[in-house]
Amino acid sequence: QKEVEQNSGPLSVPEGAIASLNCTYSDRGSQSFFWYRQYSGKSPELIMSIYSNGDKEDGRFTAQLNKASQYVSLLIRDSQPSDSATYLCAVDGGGGFKTIFGAGTRLFVKA
């Protein structure tokens, strides 16, 4: 059973701080990794994708991938109250387009 594990949270950080979200996955054959943000009552939206080891930065967001440790993380710098949402880690299931989602981490950014 291929799995993606995330701490459900809630993770609470003060405004302006760095929020660190973590994810581990079980399938060593996975090649594509994604972070989606889901606001309450809304559908998920893609915020980051990463395919190779190392860091990938996009504005205030940095995705980090370590395939040896089967670990993906998302850093949000200068966190804002508008970043409060559930963040879903997603991993491709290998050999196709079936994406496996983690249960999500709820983030609260306190003003």
Give the CA radius of gyration of the chain: 13
**Least spacing, CB of residue 96 vs other proteins, in Å:** 8
Closer to other proteins at the Cβ: 17 or 22?
22
**Least spacing, CB of residue 3 vs other proteins, in Å:** 12
Closer to other proteins at the Cβ: 51 or 110?
51
Asked if 10 and 110 count as a contact pair (C-beta separation under 8 A), the reply is no
Closer to other proteins at the Cβ: 17 or 56?
56
**Least spacing, CB of residue 16 vs other proteins, in Å:** 28
Angle subtended at Cα 111 by Cα 43 and Cα 47, rounded to the nearest 5 degrees: 30
Give dist(CA 10, CA 30) in Å, integer: 27
Residues of this chain that interact with other proteins (CB under 8 A) are: 31-32, 34, 36, 41-46, 49, 51, 88, 90, 92, 97-99, 101-104
Question: Cβ atoms within 10 A of the Cβ of 23, count?
Answer: 24
